[in-house]
Amino acid sequence: MNESMSVWALWLPHIEAVVIRLTVAIIILLIGWGVSVLAGRAVRKLAARSSRVDPTIVPMAHTVTVWAIRIIVLIAVLAKLGVQTASIIAMLGAAGLAVGLALQGTLQNIAAGIMLLALRPLRAGESVSVVGKADGTVEEVGLFLSRFRQADGTQITLPNSLVWGNPIVNLSRNGSRRIDVQVGILYGQDIVQALQAARSLIESHPLVLDSPAPAVFTGESRVSTVVIVVQAWARAGDYGALLNDIRRDLPSRLQEAGFKMPDHAYGPAAGAQGA
């Protein structure tokens, strides 16, 4: 019995030390994890309050802030438990190199995401076309993926490398856009009068901007047809509405003025511009 008590007395300080270290490590972990969550929320709140912060970079800034704090916390916990963190950091570096070689595509997505955020060819809320991949409104550019809301309400997610590696057409970055509509009339009619009828339609439309000035002119000649070309500028948000109105009203206006039109009045460029 005395021997058992002496053994217990010998090990008791070590057990107490281990329990204390473990308790402190758990406390550090819980506090650090909570701090990382609060820091992530603070980043989002600060970004929401400032008009100078681009919403596109907020998700990535949130992720980097949270996990930077968590990695520091984990290293502190291991150090408190008596683990040699220097060797762990070296091992993590070697493991990171191996993982990096194995996940080159993922690293490409991260690098592409950084380039997208640095050069900003697209931003959250803008309407863009990633040629051959997606068309829609930018919802988020993350660390690995970019999300877009398409015109039909569906969401499409692309790896950042695909977005960065393809031409990006930004449809809303500039304040105004130009519509181009072509319509044909049969030969032998008064071209000047046709141009005047088309111009009266454009100049009376409330969505057409005065500057740059709209233009109406004759385009290429086709078999038995003279092409009337209408160009007009509208605010970026009004582009689709103006394009639809001119496509609908221009043939009617010419027919009301007495002009005869071929079976296929529109030229191929009439639908070339997307909204």
Mean pLDDT to the nearest integer, 47-75: 77
The first and second tokens of residue 148, run together, are 């877009």
pLDDT of 79? 79
- The CA-based angle 209-244-167, given to 5 degrees, is 80
For residue 21, name the pLDDT band (cuts at 50, 70, 90): confident
DSSP lists the bridge partners of residue 183 as 228, 266
With a CB cutoff of 8 Å and minimum separation 6, the contacts of 34 are: none
For residues 238 and 51, the model is more confident at: 238
pLDDT of 107? 76
Mean pLDDT to the nearest integer, 106-125: 85
pLDDT of 264? 59
Pairing between β-strand 155-159 and β-strand 168-170 as defined by DSSP bridges: unpaired
Mean pLDDT to the nearest integer, 7-19: 67
- Indicate the angle between helix axes 104-119 and 85-102, nearest 10 degrees: 90
pLDDT of 231? 95
Mean pLDDT of the residues in the chain: 82
For residues 221 and 275, the model is more confident at: 221
Closest CA to 212 of 176, 246, 243: 176
Q: Which of 5-9, 27-31, 45-49, 95-99 has maximum average pLDDT?
A: 27-31
**Fold (CATH) for 2-102:** Helix Hairpins (1.10.287)
Phi and psi dihedrals of 263, rounded to 5? -60, -40
Asked whether the predicted pLDDT for residue 39 surpasses 70, the reply is yes
pLDDT tens per residue, range 201-246:
999 999 999 999 999 999 887 778 899 999 999 998 899 999 999 9
Mean pLDDT to the nearest integer, 52-74: 78
Domain range summary for the chain, segments of one domain joined by +: 2-102, 121-170, 176-271
With a CB cutoff of 8 Å and minimum separation 6, the contacts of 177 are: 171, 233, 234, 235, 236, 239
169, 129 Cβ separation under 8 angstroms: yes
pLDDT of 60? 72
SS3 225: strand
Mean pLDDT to the nearest integer, 117-128: 88
Asked whether the predicted pLDDT for residue 183 surpasses 50, the reply is yes
Mean pLDDT to the nearest integer, 156-171: 92
pLDDT of 268? 42
The first and second tokens of residue 116, run together, are 């997208």
- For 176-271, CATH gives 3.30.70.100
The first and second tokens of residue 146, run together, are 């970019």
- For 121-170, CATH gives 2.30.30.60
pLDDT of 269? 45
